[in-house]
Chains A and B, each alone.
Chain A
Amino acid sequence: QKEVEQNSGPLSVPEGAIASLNCTYSDRVSQSFFWYRQYSGKSPELIMSIYSNGDKEDGRFTAQLNKASQYVSLLIRDSQPSDSATYLCAVNWQNTGNQFYFGTGTSLTVIP
């Protein structure tokens, strides 16, 4: 059984601070990793994807991947109230039927 774990939160940060979201996964054969954001009552939407070890930056968002430690994280710099949402980590195991598993989600609140 493949597992994806996230720090459950809820996480609260003041506006302008850095929010740090973490995710671990159980299988070393994992190939690609994704962070989704989900606003209440809406569908998950992709923020970032990462496939190689290291950092990947996109605007205020930075994804970090460490395959040896089976760990992926998302940093949100200069957090805004509009970033308040649930953040979902997803792992794709392509060699076993394109499986796409989600973590338990972390609720983030940015306080103005």
Chain B
Amino acid sequence: DTAVSQTPKYLVTQMGNDKSIKCEQNLGHDTMYWYKQDSKKFLKIMFSYNNKELIINETVPNRFSPKSPDKAHLNLHINSLELGDSAVYFCASKGFMNTEAFFGQGTRLTVV
């Protein structure tokens, strides 16, 4: 039973399109994150939600809009996709106190 699941695993789309990535966790965690991993493997935090409330927005363009309908879900919608958006996007969730973050399988987004 997958703890953090995100879909789709691969996404190929043209510039200018709008796309969404979905994420769900069944761990009962209050905090969920979106990270972007570029070709140099740097995992850059984009957003952090705690119990459906936005906590962190790390200077991400307005074209990226997270949505958290409940604390088990954190979806990412991207408008007007650009070539530079090509990357692997990871969803993660974390409990409180000194606990680790658990990651989804990643979504490889390719903008052509």
Whether chain B is bound by chain A comes out as yes
Residues of A that sit less than 8 Å from B by CB = 31-32, 34, 38, 42-46, 49, 51, 86, 88, 90, 92, 94, 97-102, 104-105, 107
B12 within 8 A of A: no
| Contact among B43, B94, B104 with A98 in the assembled complex (CB-CB below 8 Å) | B94
Chain B interface size band reads: 20 to 34
In the complex, A86→B96 CA distance in Å? Answer: 26
Chain A nearest Cβ from B25, distance in angstroms:
13
Task: Please report whether the interface of chain B is mostly helix, strand, loop or mixed according to DSSP.
Answer: strand
Q: Binary interface profile of B, 86-109, with partner A (CB < 8 Å = 1, else 0)?
A: 000010101011101101111000
A43 to B43 CA separation, bound complex (whole angstroms): 11
Cα distance, A97 to B96, chains bound together (Å): 10
Question: What secondary structure prevails in chain A residues at the interface with B?
Answer: strand
B→A interface (CB under 8 Å): 30-31, 33, 35, 40-45, 48, 50, 55-56, 90, 92, 94, 96-98, 100-101, 103-106
The chain B residue sitting closest to A107, CB to CB, is B41
The answer to whether A34 touches B45, judged by C-beta atoms less than 8 angstroms apart, is: no
Instruction: A99-B48, A100-B31, A101-B45 are known; give 18 further A-B pairs, CB within 8 A.
Output: A42-B106, A44-B43, A49-B100, A86-B41, A88-B41, A88-B43, A90-B101, A94-B97, A97-B31, A97-B55, A97-B56, A98-B31, A100-B33, A102-B42, A102-B43, A104-B41, A104-B42, A105-B43
